[in-house]
Structure 1
Amino acid sequence: MARLPSTGIFTSFCASIPPNHWLKLIVFGAVYFNYLAIYFPFLLPTIRITVLLFPFSHTKVNKHLTRYMIPLLTITPICFTFYLIPALGVCRQRAYPLPFGSLWIHFIDSAFGLTNRYFHLYNLIFWMTCSLSASALLFYQLAKARSQMSQNSDLFRKANHSVSITTTAMIVFYMTNGAFLITFILYYDTESYSSYAALIRQFGNDLQFCVVTWVFYLTHPSFRTDYVFDEVSASRNWLNRRPQ
């Protein structure tokens, strides 16, 4: 929706076609998956918290959690994109500093004249708050468990390190998207800062889609064979040692 059209590759093609629903599908796909990228980071710390809170039944809890949460989060973006059903996709010229011929794909004639900017911003604020709150609770539980399990301190240190890196990457993603949305709302359709914000946003998206997943996989001890059972075992021992 933004990167390839900005290069000028599709300029001649876009100039030769009227507004249509095929271009709208590109917009819908980009908006829909942006919402998913906002929602699903919440599951990452939430699933990990259950290992600490329910060490004897976390498999069953997470099974039910993913069974209902994943379909729910997959359907939810439709509530914020329904106005695109009658809309038409169009190509628009990018503002300065991008040269003439640099385009981006947008839409017109949406239902009730609605746009995505405020829906997206409010979703971003809500789910960022939820994700950071879940991460903070996970930090607290890890620190509490680590203080009571000195013999497993290295395991909890590695898990804490993994949570720190993935949380930082998620924060950068939320902040870059938030900065883009606010700049877009304030300076839309003006030759000002919105194009610069659009350039920065792509790095935030890449950080979320690629870096968070790989960092979690490479740093969390549960993906290493020598620690595969230790985290659950340590959580169970910590639970048994808690005062009743």
Structure 2
Amino acid sequence: MDKSEVEQVLITVKSGTEEALNIKIYKNGILARRGCGGLPGVKISGMSFTGDSVYFDKLMNSVSQQVLDQNVNHEEKIITGSLEYLVAFYGVSSNGDKGERAEWTKSSALRFFMDEGTSFRHNLLGFVDGLAIEAMKLTDSWYFDIMMAGLEKMKSKSLPEQTLATSPKTEEALQQDFQNYFEQVSKKDLAGFAEGKVYESESGVGHRLSFVGDDKSITYKFTVS
């Protein structure tokens, strides 16, 4: 497919049946993400309608036409456990929708389904891994706000008005997500994610978020702004 036709990018990383990362970035401004790329997978997910193509454009700057011309579906025998990397590009909707309900007529994908102990190497595998990291960095600050909405019921005023955050139903599962997220995210980046933001409680009271700690351990607290 032609690069100008791409309207959605899907990136997933799986280990066995567990999903470590799922990111969808649309040209029409929809963002959706679950996970931080590590295991156990973070279950809190979010979707926002940003109304512009900023995230999409930045990510697609790293995608060449040569990449889109190469459909790859590598599969190998699984001995110890499976690891799957997928980057898929979609475009040209047949039903007029360019978001979650789109029926895409064109696509290109790079999929690597490998054994955990594989010695397989491919230049496009490095590209897929790098694009997943870039997509996470682009959406890390936004996803942090999704985590605060899911964990603490504190909604960042920086989030688009049309934002959905979905979290596990039990307190035990929420605590597990809390632990998994903060083990996988870079501690030194957290303060930057919250800098200058106001988080509103369910009663509408605005709060600032501050952090105390180092690269190994960190705590945070909300104070009324």
Instruction: Normalising by structure 1, report the TM-score.
Output: 0.25
Instruction: Normalising by structure 2, report the TM-score.
Output: 0.26
Structure with the greater relative contact order (CA < 8 A, sep ≥ 6): 1 or 2? 1
More helix by share: 1
More strand by share: 2
